[in-house]
């Protein structure tokens, strides 16, 4: 795969032109392809803020952001790229709005759009090989309480292992219909997790019951770190967006282990993922958005 020329230096020095070029490469690493007819040639119209690519076959006009996470945005791409770096910083939307110089609502929406793209990756990835699973229960600002609250959210964390070393993790907010009123994580809950989030030929080598005497500390530590971030930085999370933040934590752990650049990866992902809208994010029941993958 061709490398993207990520703008060099501090983000304050990135120009919008450099960011457009980087997004172009992320979107079309093998050259332009018309989203409608897949034709490989176009002319470029530069009369607007962002260039328009006009298909030489069907004349469809495609903007650089059309069909991506940045679809229809009025926020400059250089701010979007800065927000992608923020995904790895465990910061809040308030801090992002201050860094970008945008309103809280804009920063909140950008954060959720980026997390939505990560959710797509999380949904498609399954654990394989030697797998360890454990879990915990996250409650509204009282995750370590021994008293089960109606708002407690059971979470299972699974990891691919190489020996004792964790290679890749996945964290899932378990459906309450699976866990039952007790909110306790039983072997049945781990079996349901494995059925949906591990390959059929996976080999589960370790299972650690919640509140058990034994614990696989490296795996529990990842979950505890996530819960600590939810409580102490984000001031607590409700059940609606919990999975999205779990996906963010798992992504940051996995990308740091993989050695791939976070910005490089997110540019490519966001360049090939259809965005979710503000209405879809805030409606009472989350709806799975239509997805779009560029050629
Ligand atoms: Zn076309």
Q: Which two tokens stand for residue 186?
A: 């039983």
54 CA to middle of ligand 1, Å? 8
**Alpha carbon of 76 to ligand 1 centroid (Å):** 26
Q: What is the pLDDT of residue 98?
A: 96
- Per-residue pLDDT at 291 exceeds 70: no
Domains of the chain, residue spans: 11-123, 125-237
Q: How far is the CA of 66 from the centre of ligand 1 (A)?
A: 14
Distance 52 CA to ligand 1 centre (A): 13
Convert the pLDDT of each residue in 235-255 to its tens digit: 888 888 899 999 999 999 999
Query: Lowest-pLDDT range, 49-63, 107-121, 162-176, 211-225?
Result: 211-225
* pLDDT score at 281: 53
**Residue tagged 């050629």 (tokens):** 295
Q: Residue 157's pLDDT band (boundaries 50, 70, 90)?
A: very high
pLDDT, tens digit, for every residue of 96-152? 999 999 999 999 999 999 999 999 888 888 998 889 898 888 875 444 545 566 678
How far does residue 206's CA lie from ligand 1's centre (Å)?
A: 52
Rounded Cα distance, 175 and 118, in Å: 20
In the chain, the largest separation of any two C-alpha atoms, in whole Å, equals 67
Q: What was the pLDDT predicted at 143? A: 47
CA 142 vs CA 54, 184, 211, 228, 237: distances in Å: 55, 15, 15, 10, 11
pLDDT digits (tens, 9 = 90+) for 20-30: 999 999 899 88
Contacts of 159 (CB under 8 A, 6+ apart): 127, 131, 132, 133, 166, 167, 168, 169, 170, 219, 222
Mean pLDDT, the chain, as a whole number?
83
Greater model confidence, 141 or 192:
192
Residue with tokens 């059940």: 239
- Specify whether the CB–CB gap between 16 and 57 falls below 8 A: no
Q: Cα(39) to centroid of ligand 1, in Å?
A: 5
Ligand 1 centroid, distance to 56 Cα (angstroms)? 7
User: What's residue 295's pLDDT?
Assistant: 26
Compute the residue count for the chain. Answer: 295
Compute, in angstroms, the gap from residue 117 CA to the centroid of ligand 1: 26
Strand partners, 43: 54
pLDDT value of position 100: 95
Q: Kindly tell me if the per-residue pLDDT of 201 is higher than 60.
A: yes
- List, in order, residues 6 or more apart from 228 with CB less than 8 Å away: none
Residue 176 is predicted with a pLDDT of 82
* pLDDT at residue 104, as a whole number: 95
Percent of the chain with pLDDT over 70: 83
């Amino acid at each position: 795969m061709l490398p993207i020329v990520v703008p060099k230096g501090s983000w304050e020095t990135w120009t919008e032109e450099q960011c457009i070029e980087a997004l172009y490469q992320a979107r079309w690493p093998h050259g332009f392809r018309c989203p409608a007819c897949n034709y490989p040639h176009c002319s470029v119209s530069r009369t607007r803020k962002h260039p328009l690519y006009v298909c030489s076959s069907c004349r469809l006009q495609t903007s650089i952001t059309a069909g991506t996470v940045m679809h229809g945005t009025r926020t400059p791409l250089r701010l979007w790229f800065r927000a992608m770096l923020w995904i790895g910083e465990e910061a809040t939307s308030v801090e992002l709005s201050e860094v970008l110089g945008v309103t809280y609502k804009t920063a909140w929406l950008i954060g959720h759009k980026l997390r939505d793209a990560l959710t797509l990756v999380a949904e498609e990835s399954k654990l394989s090989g030697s797998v360890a699973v454990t879990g915990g229960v996250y409650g509204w600002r009282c995750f370590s309480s021994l008293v089960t609250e109606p708002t407690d959210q059971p979470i299972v964390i699974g990891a691919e292992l190489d020996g004792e070393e964790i290679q890749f993790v996945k964290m899932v907010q378990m459906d309450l219909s699976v866990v039952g009123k007790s909110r306790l994580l039983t072997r049945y809950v781990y079996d349901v997790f494995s059925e949906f989030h591990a390959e059929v030929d996976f080999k589960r080598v370790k299972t650690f019951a919640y509140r058990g005497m034994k614990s696989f500390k490296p795996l529990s530590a990842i979950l505890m770190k996530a819960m600590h971030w939810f409580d102490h930085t984000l001031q607590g999370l409700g059940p609606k967006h919990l999975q999205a933040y779990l996906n963010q934590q798992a992504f940051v752990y996995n990308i740091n282990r993989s050695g791939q650049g976070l910005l490089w990866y997110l540019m490519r992902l966001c360049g090939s993922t259809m965005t979710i809208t503000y209405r879809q994010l805030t409606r009472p029941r989350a709806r799975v958005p239509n997805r779009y993958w560029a050629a």
